[in-house]
Amino acid sequence: MEEIYDVMILGAGAAGLTAGIYSSRAKLNTIILNEGTIGGQMVLTNEIANFPGVETTNGYKLANTMKKQAKTFGCKIKSNIKIVEYHLEGDIKYVKLEDGKKFQSKTTILATGGKPRSLNIPGEEKFKGTGISYCATCDGDFFTNKEIIVVGGGNSALEEAVNLTKFASKVTILHQFGYFQAFEHAVQEAKANPKIDFIMESEPREFIGDDKLKKIKIEHIPTKKFTEIKIDGVFIFVGYLPNTDALKNVVKLNEYNEIVVDADMKTSIQGVFAAGDCIAKKYRQVTTAVAEGAIAALITNEYLQNQKKYKFFTHDTDHFLR
């Protein structure tokens, strides 16, 4: 019979890695299955200055430290995989990978994270990687001494705009409203930077170029006036979408395809919990993901102790894999 883990965590971002640290340190047999990059969206953050107890770091370093911690406590991590089947009902849950391998567990923590939201306007798909980016850390140095536009008005947009001034000669923040949704310190930092300009109450309508991006067409919303601006690059920071497409018929989601959880990170399925950017919540920060991952792991441990107490796992589990 294949090994049955106590805890199976799907996703290795801030929430998943934290859950792995807590679960494995509690001596639970834990495995993390990860489809993308270890660290998730966290590794795309150039500077993290508000993580408690850490003065300044970057997402890659923090993710690598968390990965080492989890492994030190005995957590197994399997990356670069593709899950094709989810079977999370019942006492024993299992997933099936693209290569046919199955992983079984008594509990599951969904920490599948999110991905950058696209604008879905003409030219965006064509110029991804040749002028359009969603990651300042990944692509900022490609625009050294260039003029770029940052689309968005939240914390990520303003903070990354400031980071991009390390490379670009000029950064213009393009935002659909006349005000920002970011924290005041982020707004003031951006406004104080001499390399940053602002175009407010405007939205991008088309990206124009040949083999690479050359111009962006924008619309001033109050006047309906269109303008074309010559530009070297565009960075888009307009939020994230939860990575839950494969879970639509597996667990309860809300109208935004976010996993519905209660205060204990419990989902609609017994023994299945969720944490991080894939769940329904207001704030998406590394610290909130870490907190949710810790809660999910602690509640999972409590759940397993109760199940052990009442001897729920005494029957043969072979039929779950047929």
How does pLDDT run across 172-205, given as a tens digit for each residue?
999 999 999 999 999 999 999 999 999 999 999 9
My answer on whether 302 and 158 are in the same domain is no
Return the CATH number at 51: 3.50.50.60
Whole-angstrom Cα distance, residue 93 to residue 250? 12
144 and 167 fall within a common domain: yes
Q: How high does pLDDT run on average in the chain?
A: 92
**In a domain? residue 261:** yes
* Per-residue pLDDT, 311: 59
pLDDT of 237-296, one tens digit each? 998 899 999 999 999 999 999 999 999 999 999 999 999 999 999 888 899 999 999 999
Query: Tokens standing for 90?
Result: 């019942």
Question: In which band, very low, low, confident or very high, does the pLDDT at 1 lie, cut at 50, 70 and 90?
Answer: low
Domain with 216 in it: 132-236
Same domain, 163 and 196: yes
The neighbour count for residue 201, using CB atoms within 10 Å, is 15
In total, how many domains does the chain have? 2
Residue 308 resides in a domain? yes
Do residues 252 and 268 touch, judged by C-beta distance below 8 A? yes
Last residue of a domain, one of 188, 205, 236: 236
Is residue 168 situated within a structural domain?
yes
Flag whether 125 is in a domain: no
The candidate with the shortest Cα–Cα distance to 300, out of 38, 93, 112, 95, is 93
| Of 1-5, 182-186, 302-306, the least confident | 1-5
| Each residue's pLDDT tens digit, 60-114 | 899 999 999 999 999 999 999 999 999 999 999 999 999 999 999 999 999 999 9
User: Could you say which of 203, 236, 269 is where a domain stops?
Assistant: 236
Per the domain annotation, does 124 fall within a domain? no
Residue 15 forms part of a structural domain: yes
Residue at a domain's end among 236, 256, 274: 236
301 within some domain: yes
Residue 91 located in a structural domain: yes
3-state SS, one letter per residue, for 232-299: CEEEECCCEEECCHHHCCCCCECCCCCECCCCCCECCCCCEEECCCCECCCCCCHHHHHHHHHHHHHH
Contacts with 311 (C-beta within 8 Å, 6 or more apart), sequence order: none
User: Any idea which of 9-18, 80-89, 305-314 has the lowest mean pLDDT?
Assistant: 305-314
Compute the average pLDDT of residues 228-233. Answer: 96
DSSP 156-195: HHHHHHHHHTTT-SEEEEE-SSSS--S-HHHHHHHHH-TT
pLDDT at 53 over 80: yes
Give the closest residue to 113 by CA, choosing from 20, 29, 9, 28: 9
Q: What is the pLDDT of residues 18-49, one digit of tens each?
A: 999 999 999 999 999 999 889 988 887 767 87
- Same-domain check for residues 82 and 227: no
| Residue 11 shares a structural domain with residue 155 | no
Q: pTM for this one?
A: 0.78
Task: Based on the fold, state whether residues 168 and 317 are members of the same structural domain.
Answer: no
